[in-house]
A and B are shown apart, each in its own frame.
Chain A
Amino acid sequence: MAKPTTSLRTYALTRLALVLPMLWILLTLVFFMMRVAPGDPVTAALGGRLPEKELQQRRHAAGYDKPLIVQYVDYLGDVARLNFGTTITDDRPVTDVIVENGSATLELTFWAMVVALSVGIGLGLLAGRLRDSGADVSIRMFGIVVYAMPAFFLGFLAQLLFGERLGWLPTSGRASPEVQFLLPTHTHLYVVDAIIYGDWATFKDVVLHLILPAATLGLIIAGVLIRLVRVNVLQTMKGDYIEAARARGIDEKSVVYRHAFKNALVPVVTVLGLQVALLMSGAVLTETTFNWPGIGFELVRYLNNRDYIAVQGIITFFALIVIFISLLIDFVNAWIDPRVRY
Chain B
Amino acid sequence: MSATAPVLDVRDLRVWYGSARGAVRAVDGVSLQIRAGEVLGLVGESGCGKSTLGRGVMGLLPDGSAVDGQVLFQDTDLLKVSDRQLRRMRGPDIALIFQEPMTRLNPLMRIEDHFSESITAHEPKLGKAEVRRRSLEALGGMGIPPTRFRNYPHEFSGGMRQRIMIALALVLRPKLVIADEPTTALDVLVEAQILSILADLKRNFDTALLLITHNLGIVAEACDRVAVMYAGRIAEEGDARTVFSQPAHPYTRELLRSVISLNTTGLHYIPGAPPSLIDPPAACKFHPRCPDAMRVCAQLAPVEQRLSAGQRVECWLHGPSDRIPEGGREPLEQGRIAVAEEA
A interface residues (Cβ-Cβ under 8 A, vs B): 1-5, 239-241, 243-251, 254, 258-259, 262-263, 266, 336-339
Q: Is the CB of B87 within 8 A of A251?
A: yes
Cα of A329 to Cα of B160 in the assembled complex, Å: 32
Residues on the B chain within 8 Å of A2, using CB = 155-157, 160
Q: Is the CB of A3 within 8 A of B108?
A: no
Partner of A339, one of B90, B95, B152, B160: B152
Q: Which of B72-80, B116-124, B222-230 forms part of the interface with chain A?
A: B116-124
Q: Is the CB of A240 within 8 A of B121?
A: no
Q: Is the CB of A259 within 8 A of B106?
A: yes
**Does B100 sit within 8 A of A, measured CB to CB?**
yes
Partner of A247, one of B98, B152, B158: B98
Cα of A258 to Cα of B103 in the assembled complex, Å: 17
Residues on the A chain within 8 Å of B121, using CB = 248-251, 254
Residues on the B chain within 8 Å of A262, using CB = 108
Residues on the A chain within 8 Å of B89, using CB = 249
Contact count A vs B, C-beta below 8 Å: 82
**Apart from A1-B157, A240-B100, A249-B91, what 4 extra A-B contacts exist at CB < 8 Å?**
A244-B104, A250-B117, A251-B121, A336-B108
Q: Is the CB of B58 within 8 A of A247?
A: yes
Residues on the A chain within 8 Å of B98, using CB = 240, 243-244, 247
Determine how close the nearest CB of chain A comes to the CB of B205; give it in whole angstroms: 18
Chain B 149-178 interface residues, beta-carbon cutoff 8 Å to A? 151-152, 154-158, 160, 165, 168-169
Residues on the A chain within 8 Å of B169, using CB = 248
Cα of A4 to Cα of B147 in the assembled complex, Å: 13
Residues on the A chain within 8 Å of B95, using CB = 247-248
**Which interface residue of A4, A246, A249, A262 has the most chain B CB atoms within 10 A?**
A249
Given A244-B98, A247-B96, A249-B89, A5 and B155 contact (CB-CB distance below 8 Å): yes
Given A247-B60, A248-B118, A338 and B152 contact (CB-CB distance below 8 Å): yes
**Does B105 sit within 8 A of A, measured CB to CB?**
yes
Partner of B117, one of A4, A247, A258, A339: A258
Cα of A245 to Cα of B121 in the assembled complex, Å: 11
Query: What are the 5 tightest A-B residue pairs by CB atom distance, in nearest-first order?
Result: A249-B90, A249-B91, A240-B103, A244-B104, A1-B157
Q: Is the CB of A248 within 8 A of B106?
A: no
Cα of A263 to Cα of B155 in the assembled complex, Å: 18
Cα of A336 to Cα of B107 in the assembled complex, Å: 11
Chain B 79-129 interface residues, beta-carbon cutoff 8 Å to A? 87-92, 95-96, 98, 100, 103-108, 117-118, 121-122
Determine how close the nearest CB of chain B comes to the CB of A41; give it in whole angstroms: 51
Residues on the A chain within 8 Å of B152, using CB = 5, 338-339
A-B contact pairs, 5 of them (CB 8 A): A1-B156, A5-B155, A243-B104, A247-B96, A251-B87
Residues on the B chain within 8 Å of A337, using CB = 107-108
Q: Is the CB of B154 within 8 A of A3?
A: yes
Cα of A251 to Cα of B83 in the assembled complex, Å: 10
Q: Is the CB of A263 within 8 A of B108?
A: yes
Cα of A266 to Cα of B88 in the assembled complex, Å: 30
Residues on the A chain within 8 Å of B90, using CB = 246-249
Q: Is the CB of B118 within 8 A of A250?
A: yes
Residues on the B chain within 8 Å of A254, using CB = 117, 121
Partner of A248, one of B91, B103, B108, B160: B91
Partner of B106, one of A3, A4, A241, A249: A241
Q: Is the CB of B60 within 8 A of A339?
A: no
Residues on the B chain within 8 Å of A244, using CB = 98, 104-105, 165
Determine how close the nearest CB of chain A comes to the CB of B287; give it in whole angstroms: 36
Cα of A77 to Cα of B121 in the assembled complex, Å: 60
Given A337-B107, A339-B154, A246 and B60 contact (CB-CB distance below 8 Å): yes
Determine how close the nearest CB of chain A comes to the CB of B160; give it in whole angstroms: 7
Residues on the A chain within 8 Å of B154, using CB = 3, 338-339
Cα of A300 to Cα of B156 in the assembled complex, Å: 55
Cα of A265 to Cα of B96 in the assembled complex, Å: 28
Which chain A residue lies CB-closest to B148? A2
Q: Is the CB of B108 within 8 A of A239?
A: no
Partner of A240, one of B96, B104, B160, B168: B104
Determine how close the nearest CB of chain B comes to the CB of A272; give it in whole angstroms: 17
Which chain A residue lies CB-closest to B97? A247
Determine how close the nearest CB of chain A comes to the CB of B20; give it in whole angstroms: 17
Q: Is the CB of B87 within 8 A of A239?
A: no
Which chain A residue lies CB-closest to B99? A240
Cα of A240 to Cα of B98 in the assembled complex, Å: 9
Cα of A244 to Cα of B95 in the assembled complex, Å: 10
Q: Is the CB of B104 within 8 A of A241?
A: yes
Residues on the B chain within 8 Å of A5, using CB = 151-152, 155
Residues on the A chain within 8 Å of B168, using CB = 248
Q: Is the CB of B155 within 8 A of A4?
A: yes
Cα of A263 to Cα of B60 in the assembled complex, Å: 22
Partner of B103, one of A1, A3, A239, A263: A239
Residues on the A chain within 8 Å of B100, using CB = 240
Residues on the B chain within 8 Å of A1, using CB = 156-158
Determine how close the nearest CB of chain A comes to the CB of B77; give it in whole angstroms: 18
Given A245-B106, A248-B90, A251-B87, A3 and B155 contact (CB-CB distance below 8 Å): yes
Cα of A97 to Cα of B100 in the assembled complex, Å: 58
**Which interface residue of A244, A259, A263, A338 has the most chain B CB atoms within 10 A?**
A244
Given A244-B98, A246-B60, A251-B87, A263 and B107 contact (CB-CB distance below 8 Å): yes
Cα of A254 to Cα of B58 in the assembled complex, Å: 19
Residues on the A chain within 8 Å of B103, using CB = 239-241
Determine how close the nearest CB of chain B comes to the CB of A340; give it in whole angstroms: 10
Residues on the B chain within 8 Å of A250, using CB = 87, 117-118, 121
Residues on the B chain within 8 Å of A3, using CB = 154-155
Residues on the B chain within 8 Å of A258, using CB = 117
Cα of A239 to Cα of B98 in the assembled complex, Å: 13
Cα of A124 to Cα of B88 in the assembled complex, Å: 30
Residues on the B chain within 8 Å of A251, using CB = 87, 121
Which chain A residue lies CB-closest to B119? A248
Which chain A residue lies CB-closest to B122? A249
Q: Is the CB of B165 within 8 A of A339?
A: no
